[in-house]
Amino acid sequence: MQGDSNSSDGPGDDQASVDESTGQAAGTAGGESPSTPRGADPLAEAQADATRMKDAWMRSAADFDNFRKRTRKELEDARRSGREDLLRAVLPVFDNLERAIQSALRTKDVKAVADGLAMVQRQFTEALGREGIARIATVGLPFDPSVHEAIQQVETSDHAPGTVLAEVQPGYTQGDRLMRAAMVVVAKPKGGDGAPGAGETAS
């Protein structure tokens, strides 16, 4: 009888073992548990990064455009302010020039007219000086191609070759910047080739 009991118990245990094994196998075959985290979609991440970079680029482009417009406006304002300052400095000179012309029409004193015009010229030079504009020195100095433009050479033995003999048109600088070169006449030795860089002979 004991053998019968053992034989009856054996199949039950084996069945339970099989059932457990089968259940575990079924659970494994059924896939991952719902609680297991799944990896992010690489395509979605790339699209999100592209969107963020596009937004950042658009903001940078807008900032740069605003900066460019602001800088252009500041430059235009600075130029306008500079012109206005120069105009305010020169207008009194123009007023005195008109007065000198009216005075010249009413008088026959040539010296008085000349003195009045000389005064206007001094005033004009002072006004330019306050704006940092200086007249280029010429006569009696060596020819300087950086600020002088030779329009004529004259043979002479009274001056060293390359000396500026006369000024045809004044030149001006503003600080270190050349605004207009001075047109000058330059000395050259008799029978010589002229001062270097002084242009062609036009005597």
Q: Which domains does the chain have, with CATH numbers?
A: 43-131 (3.90.20.20), 136-203 (2.30.22.10)
The helix/strand/coil state of 39 is: coil
Q: How confident is the model at residue 192 (pLDDT cuts 50, 70, 90)?
A: low
Taking only the tens place, the pLDDT of each residue in 99-125 is 988 988 888 888 988 999 999 999 999
Q: Which residues pair with 186 in a beta bridge?
A: 153, 164
What pLDDT does 193 receive? 54
Q: Residue type for 73, please?
A: K
What separation in angstroms does the CA of 25 have from each of 37, 77, 155, 160? 22, 83, 118, 115
Q: 196 pLDDT exceeds 70? A: no
What separation in angstroms does the CA of 107 have from each of 97, 98, 104, 112? 15, 15, 5, 8
Which two structure tokens, joined as six digits, stand for 65? 């455009």
Q: Tell me the average pLDDT of the chain.
A: 81
SS3 content of the chain, % helix, strand, coil (to 5): 55, 15, 30
What pLDDT does 89 receive? 87
CB of 183 closer than 8 Å to CB of 169: yes
What pLDDT does 53 receive? 93
Cα four-point dihedral sign 107, 112, 117, 119: negative
Taking only the tens place, the pLDDT of each residue in 129-177 is 988 899 999 999 999 999 999 999 999 989 999 999 999 999 999 989 9
Q: How confident is the model at residue 191 (pLDDT cuts 50, 70, 90)?
A: confident
C-beta atoms surrounding 189 within 10 Å: 15
What separation in angstroms does the CA of 64 have from each of 12, 38, 59, 67, 148? 82, 42, 9, 5, 43
pTM of the model: 0.56
The pLDDT of 71-96, averaged and rounded, is: 89
What pLDDT does 83 receive? 85
Q: In sequence order, what are the residues at sequence separation of 6 or more whose Cβ sits closer than 8 angstroms to the Cβ of residue 61?
A: none
Which two structure tokens, joined as six digits, stand for 170? 């004044």
